[in-house]
Amino acid sequence: MEFNRPRGTRDFLFDEMHERKRVENVLREVFESYAFQEIKTPIFEELDLFTTKSGEEIVDQLYNFKDKSDREITLRPEITAPVARLYLNELTKTAKPIKLYYYGSCFRYERPQKGRFRQFWQFGCELIGARSPDGEAEVLSLVNTSLEKLGINTAEIHINHLGIIRGLFEHFDIDEDTQSELMIIIDKGDKELLKESLVGETPLIDNPELNEILIDLIDLVGDKSILTEMEDLVGKYEETVDSLDEFKELIKTLDSYGLENYKLNLGVARGLDYYTGIVFEVYIPELGAQKQVCGGGTYSLIKIFGGDEVESTGFAFGFDRLMNAIEEPEVKPSYIDAFVIPINEETHFEAFTIATKLREQGIRTEVDLSTRKFKKTLKHANKLQVPYVVMVGKRDLEKGSLTLKNMYSGEQELVSINNIVNKIKDNL
């Protein structure tokens, strides 16, 4: 019988896991520098949690099943809804704003293709209870800092404020079903489809004035200088004024963060009704069709689940796509700091003692467990790109010393056992 991994999943071997762990640690450091704290939610939830958020049509995309108590359960397809559930269960009385982040795997039953898998990972955050341009700017700055720390310098952050378009809908009295249908079309980014939907044979909206404004708005993409054009298009409609003012305040706040790597893009819609303020997406052009690596915005999801009106701003990196955007290092760093080799059988047990001492001091250490001869073991350590080899010899031990070999320079020296930790740490 042959056993293969399930379709749409992957195995990660040593080098790839080392790099994924490095990126994960970089993101943790950045998020925590903004005072976000990590949480963890279950890998499966009640099905109703996701159908309430996204509608019954999402069921076809889920890994759902009934447990032994006949409850409808599903593997989580994303983590935003579980965070909202966690807030309602555990954090309603916690002082706001609440800053939390998460990292975990998600599952969607969809056709696997390049850059899209049935098991994937998200790294994201939620700023709960701080709906304001200040809070939104904080989150956008976090996105930008994360990209910078990962060495990704081609990313584009595209930002919109949905209140502008929703204000137009309110002014022209457009029903909610039509609004939702139109927002889904805008979110697809297909401008030709949008034009056909507005000015084709069977337009969704029978209002030439509004249709013309929407087409012009969606074409607006650029730096903050396009705010003037935006105001010229919609500023006369009272229902858009507050959102325009918020958008302008956000831009001023982003300036104070020194953030310049963004574009205003009225075509970013996110296609979901619970978004109430800004929405944004991050594109890395060289990834082609899978260029979007991040999406987020300001929303009122907690109310949908029966809670109070508590607005949040959050986002999630598609961790796997993010990995595709990071250049592989020319020289892969070793996962070991020191390799301990007993020179002969008589120093076998002392080698384990030395390895334990190094590990206790945070030095990543491998001890030779093979039956290779010394020269072959040394050659193996060199292949692993280990910075230091610690040779445990009988005569050296009698002097209270060990032989330390720098594998990069080839130099070796006699070091006292009491000083071996400091010697390695000082040079790592």
pLDDT score for 330: 64
Strand 44-46 and strand 72-75: the pairing is antiparallel
pLDDT score for 384: 87
pLDDT score for 426: 87
Distance CA 76, CA 108 (A): 8
Q: What are the DSSP calls for 83-123, one per residue? A: HHHHIIIIITTS-SSEEEEEEEEEE--S--BTTB-SEEEEE
pLDDT band at 271 (very low <50, low <70, confident <90, very high): low
Q: Is 287 exposed, middle or buried (0-12, 13-18, 19+ CB in 10 A)?
A: middle
Domains of the chain, first to last: 338-427 (3.40.50.800)
Q: Strand pairing partners for 390?
A: 340, 404
**Contact predicate 381/341, CB 8 Å:** yes
Q: Does pTM top 0.85 for this prediction? A: yes
For residues 251-273, average pLDDT: 87
Q: Which pLDDT tens digit goes with each residue over 90-139?
A: 999 999 999 999 999 999 998 877 778 999 999 999 999 987 899 999 99
pLDDT at 190 over 90: no
More confident residue, 34 or 275: 34
pLDDT band at 290 (very low <50, low <70, confident <90, very high): confident
Q: Which pLDDT tens digit goes with each residue over 129-166?
A: 987 899 999 999 999 999 999 999 999 999 999 999 99
Bond preceding residue 97 cis, omega within 30 of 0: yes
pLDDT band at 301 (very low <50, low <70, confident <90, very high): confident
359: CB partners within 8 A, 6+ apart: 365
